[in-house]
């Protein structure tokens, strides 16, 4: 009880300190009170500000895995992905599925593929090109090890070309300071959907124009 009071005091004065939350939960785990430990982790991850949230979430997930609760761990990954789409989270999720899927009598490779697919889509939508490359390369390695020729070819078809391009150097005051060479990535998937996106944008523009025309006609009738 004395240790609990001390941890409660530490948290009261420093609720953003992830290490304190983790040590408190570990204490309850050592004392065999798993429900209390889980409640502490829950309070911790719901704090508005944390100094090292990534290690806290990892500790919570490992706690559930250690208790033999992979479904709870999977739910935690899903909750974490509502907050961040960092490539490390997607990679960790894949490793989790590869390790625990088999123990649940599921197909771990199929589960991992689904995570990679979702991660690729999320990183594409957020424009995180370098993280997306890392994820696709890891996915390719998975297919080399556990897939077949067709599945490997599918992933290799998603890998980008690296190109050089020039971009303006803009100073902090907004002044132009010349040009620099940078690397960029062109993803085949993105290039393939560009014509469709252009058509969709044209359709939207036409629809807006039609709506404006109809509004003008209604105004003329009213006036």
pLDDT tens, residue by residue, 1-32: 788 899 899 999 999 999 999 999 999 999 99
Identify the residue with better confidence: 65 or 184. Answer: 65
Q: What is the pTM of this model?
A: 0.80
Query: In angstroms, how far is CA 188 from the centroid of its own chain?
Result: 21
Per-residue pLDDT tens digits for 208-217: 677 666 555 5
What is the signed CA dihedral for 31, 78, 113, 61, rounded to 10 degrees?
-10
List the beta strands (DSSP E) in 59-160.
Answer: none
The tokens of 121 are what? Answer: 């889509």
Give pLDDT tens digits for 74-120. Answer: 999 999 999 999 999 999 999 999 999 877 778 999 999 999 999 99
Instruction: Identify which of 150, 71, 64, 76 has the alpha carbon closest to the alpha carbon of residue 113.
Output: 150
């Amino acid at each position: 009880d004395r240790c609990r009071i001390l941890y409660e005091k530490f948290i009261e004065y420093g609720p953003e300190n992830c290490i304190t939350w983790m040590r408190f939960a570990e204490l309850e785990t050592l004392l065999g009170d798993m429900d209390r430990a889980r409640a502490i982790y829950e309070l911790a991850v719901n704090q508005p500000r944390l100094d090292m949230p990534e290690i806290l979430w990892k500790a919570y997930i490992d706690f559930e895995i250690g208790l033999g609760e992979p479904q709870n761990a999977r739910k935690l990954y899903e909750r974490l992905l509502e907050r961040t789409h960092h490539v490390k989270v997607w990679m960790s999720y894949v490793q989790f599925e590869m390790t625990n899927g088999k123990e649940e009598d599921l197909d771990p490779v199929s589960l991992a593929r689904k995570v990679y697919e979702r991660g690729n889509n999320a990183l594409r939508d957020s424009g995180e090109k370098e993280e997306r490359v890392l994820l696709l390369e890891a996915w390719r390695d998975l297919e080399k090890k556990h897939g077949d020729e067709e599945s490997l070819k599918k992933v290799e078809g998603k890998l980008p070309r690296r190109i050089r391009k020039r971009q303006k150097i803009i100073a902090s005051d907004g002044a132009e300071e010349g040009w620099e060479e940078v690397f960029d990535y062109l993803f085949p998937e993105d290039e393939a959907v560009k014509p469709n996106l252009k058509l969709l944008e044209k359709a939207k523009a036409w629809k807006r124009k039609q709506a404006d025309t109809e509004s003008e006609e209604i105004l003329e009738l009213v006036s």
